[in-house]
Amino acid sequence: MFNKLTKSRILITGGTGSFGSQFLSTLLKLKTKPKQITIFSRDEKKQFDMRNTIKSKIVNFVIGDVRDYENVLNIMENIDYVFHAAALKQVPSCEFFPIEAVKTNILGTDNIIKAANRTKVKKVIFLSTDKSVQPINAMGMSKALMEKTISAKSKIIRKNLSFCITRYGNVIGSRGSVVPTFIEQIKKDKKLTITDPKMTRFMMTLDDAVKLVFYAFEKGNNGDIFIKKSPASDILNIAKAVSNKFKRRLRYEIIGTRLGEKIHETLLSSEEMAKSKDLGSFYKINPLTDQAKFNDYFYKGNKLKNITDYSSNNTQILNLNQTIKILEKSEVYKN
């Protein structure tokens, strides 16, 4: 797997985000490092901080926005592999500014697709989310259309280029996630705000997300969508685990489910599960295997098996001790 990266030129869009930072750190620890890594993002402050922290001769920093096609095209010249992590990811931001989510998550991704097809890029790994499955919020809807755009364009790209999608659930400690929120509330001696004690969320570390992306990079063929199997925990156990870390008795208030939130998250719909391939720690689906032509859409179909979806309420549900154990793998919890 890592042999492909040796002497290669890599582009990470949204490279100063939670995933981008962890992915860059992982790349720089490889014995056979890439020839060049380009961090492409629009936040100059985050780039400044990362530049001073990393101090690596093989890392370049470029200010830009995936919404700007000419900028993306210029940056992608002489790039071998692209890891597309740039996105608007927070549900409230997308809910109140849905057109901004469309511009970044859908049109920005389309710019990546078009630029990759016009340059010498060999492979693009796109990062998606559980919220794209049966979406009820603008963020999930924009990510679902992002996936559809990638799948559709995968059919018409040049032969020596491939697109793969990775889809995963909540990453512990990422910006806007519940664990940092609980930690901040405890530090301010406030009650923890719990939406619904029965709400469940997939539990995944940043390291798990990086492993999923590496797996897709190594094993993925054009059009593949990879999903990492993940355990889940309910919000009340997560709140208890964070309180235990501070040796504080749990104090909380129930505020109710907020706009755009689900009680349970889904990584694979029942329709996708019927067509998925179980790879042990991962599931794989590929919409291109249907090979349906436009006219066939109206006259042909497949009989679906009676299979349930893969959701945070029917995966492995962690108890309190197990929740603490997985949280301890997260830097934000340990520190």
Residue (of 125, 122, 165, 124) closest to 147 by Cα position:
165
Beta strands per DSSP E along the chain: 9-13, 36-41, 59-63, 81-84, 123-129, 162-168, 192-194, 200-202, 225-228, 232-234, 252-254, 266-268, 277-278, 282-285, 310-311
A 10 A CB-CB count for 294 gives: 6
Q: List the catalytic residue out of 131, 240, 262, 284.
A: 131
154: which 2 tokens? 């995968």
- In the residue annotation, 131 being an active-site residue is answered as yes
Please say whether the beta carbons of 205 and 329 come within 8 A.
yes
**Dihedral of CA 296/298/300/305: which sign?**
positive
CA atoms of 251 and 216, how far apart (whole Å): 41
Question: How big, in percent rounded to 5, are the helix, strand and coil portions of the chain?
Answer: 40, 20, 40
Torsion of Cα atoms, 110 then 116 then 119 then 120, to 10°? -170
CA atoms of 216 and 223, how far apart (whole Å): 11
Residue with tokens 């790879």: 279
Beta strands per DSSP E along 123-272: 123-129, 162-168, 192-194, 200-202, 225-228, 232-234, 252-254, 266-268
A 10 A CB-CB count for 321 gives: 10
- Active-site residues, by number, are 131
